[in-house]
Structure 1
Amino acid sequence: MILSLNAIVLSKIKYNDNDLIVKCFTQQKGIVSYILKGVLKSKKNKRIAFFQLLTQLDIETDFKANRSLQYVKDLKNHTLYSSIHQNVYKSAIAMFISDVLANALKEEEQNEALFSYIEAALNWLDISQDYSNFHLLFLLKLTKYLGFYPDTTHMDLSYFNLVEGAFDFNKTHEQFILGEDLNLFKTLLGTNFDALDAIKMSSNQRQRFLIILLKYYELHLIGFKKPKSLQILNEVFN
């Protein structure tokens, strides 16, 4: 069946000497992995440029549901970024976000709302001038589509229970958000991307809060692991 799919590149790995396996999240079929035969054979092969992390593509494929690796018949850019792959800071964010998505969306099926969220967020990042906290809000809003968005019923309480995903009266174990981090958490819950420039924090605050969010993911997503690109992200924004 010949299909045209809107896709976002999540990861790529070298296979054999000259082949590439690319994992994408598509609007129509969820997670789809492609094998590109011989794409690494020549440095002049222009197809490799299409598969930078988080690139948005239109892919034409002869799709077979029982095949684990699909083949690309034709492709083109769906959205051509102006800065994500040229700006070192945005590139570090893109590497980190793709790491998280590849980890979190292992078995994801078609989910148009999730695809639209990721697409819109990346387009915002590409044109934004104030994006240092983008990844924090991106991760927090992503939980809405993954099924563990924080319960905001009692936001006036003094603790947030990471295990239960809800605000709490008491701190009964170590997996809680409190104090300055809780204030930031509440602020982010009430913020959209266009208002991110109003949130100011130091690099230490940003790194600490990111660790909290990643712990939240680990507690609610089976098999989720801290992204390997976290260290690179922290070094770039330090």
Structure 2
Amino acid sequence: MLAKNNSIVLSKLKYKDYDLIVKCYTQQRGIVTYILRGILKSKKGQAKTVYFQALSQLQIEENFKPNQSLHAIKEVKLGYIYKSLHTNIYKSAIVLFLSEILSNVLREEERNEALYDYLETALQYLDNEEQYANFHLLFLLKLTRYLGFQPENLNKNHAYFNLQSGTFETFDDGIYSISGKNLTLLKQLLGINFDALHTIKISAKQRQEFLNMLLHYFELHLDGFKKPKSLQVLNEVFH
């Protein structure tokens, strides 16, 4: 069945000698994996691989067959042309990190337009923004809403936040309770949108500590979640 599907590239993998397997999050069907047969066989084909850079936004005409795990692409073009996401070294580090996270946590093969719209809008914001050092923190925090474990936004005046329950509490509940700077930053981020990120001023050390806390939060709520290998690169770039 030929159909058009807006897609965001999550990962790509060389298969055999000349094929490419591309995993995308799509507007119409959630996770879809495509196979591009022979694309690496010629220089012309290899040139087309530029479409499949991490988190590229594409318009794909696909040959979708419901009973198959790999689907064919008849035609592809850019749905949105990034100005800086793949050329700015700092943004590229964020892209590498987020694409690895998304490839890990997005698994549903069903439509979720609200999630797709969030990814599309957030990435376009990052592409156009000049102050973005904390972007990935808010991106991951907002992503929890679509994954089903968003921190509750009540009782924000309480002195602790429980990573396991996702709630603010009045008491220290042990290893899952956070307080101090991480708690303060969590409360700040829960109350803002991307256009207010420039108001958040933190050090590189605090950024790393908060990110580690966020990743631990993901580990507690998502079976099989693993810290991305690109975390070290991200930390080095923003050190």
1:38-49 superposed matches below 5 A: 38-45=38-45, 46-49=47-50
How far has the Cα of 1:111 moved from its partner? Answer: 0.4
Q: Is the 8 A contact 2:151 2:167 kept in 1?
A: yes
1:113 is matched with 114
Q: Relative to 1, partners in 2 of residues 1:108 and 1:179: Cα closer, same or farther, differing over 3 Å?
A: farther
Number of paired residues?
A: 238
2: CA distance, partners of 1:77 / 1:23: 16
1: CA distance, partners of 2:109 / 2:202: 33
Higher alpha-carbon deviation: 22-31 or 32-41: 32-41
2:15 is matched with 15
1: CA distance, partners of 2:15 / 2:187: 44
Report the residue type matching 1:23 in the other structure.
Answer: K
How far has the Cα of 1:109 moved from its partner? Answer: 1.9
Unpaired stretches in structure 1, ≥5 consecutive residues:
none
TM-score w.r.t. structure 1 length? 0.98
Unpaired stretches in structure 2, ≥5 consecutive residues:
none
Q: Is the 8 A contact 2:32 2:109 kept in 1?
A: no
2: CA distance, partners of 1:233 / 1:216: 19
2: CA distance, partners of 1:214 / 1:18: 36
Q: Relative to 1, partners in 2 of residues 1:108 and 1:142: Cα closer, same or farther, differing over 3 Å?
A: farther
1:75 is matched with 76
1:30 is matched with 30
Could you give the per-residue CA deviations for residues 92-144 of structure 1, whole angstroms, max 9, x where no partner exists? 00011111100000235210000000000000000000000000000000001
Report the residue type matching 2:235 in the other structure.
Answer: N
How far has the Cα of 1:41 moved from its partner? Answer: 2.2
1:227 is matched with 228
SS in 1 for 2:71: coil
1:209-220 superposed matches below 5 A: 209-220=210-221
1:185 equivalent in alignment to 2:225: no
Identity between Structure 1 and Structure 2 (%): 58
SS in 2 for 1:71: strand
1:3 is matched with 3
SS in 2 for 1:23: strand
Report the residue type matching 2:68 in the other structure.
Answer: R
Report the residue type matching 1:18 in the other structure.
Answer: Y
SS in 2 for 1:11: strand
2: CA distance, partners of 1:201 / 1:97: 20
Higher alpha-carbon deviation: 174-183 or 22-31: 174-183
SS in 2 for 1:115: helix
2: CA distance, partners of 1:21 / 1:101: 17
2: CA distance, partners of 1:108 / 1:63: 13
SS in 2 for 1:34: strand
Q: Which runs of 4+ in 1 moved over 6 A?
A: none
SS in 1 for 2:11: strand
SS in 1 for 2:51: helix
Q: Relative to 1, partners in 2 of residues 1:182 and 1:57: Cα closer, same or farther, differing over 3 Å?
A: same
Let me know the Cα RMSD of the aligned residues: 0.9
Q: Is the 8 A contact 2:14 2:21 kept in 1?
A: yes
SS in 1 for 2:229: coil
How far has the Cα of 1:77 moved from its partner? Answer: 0.3
How far has the Cα of 1:42 moved from its partner? Answer: 3.0
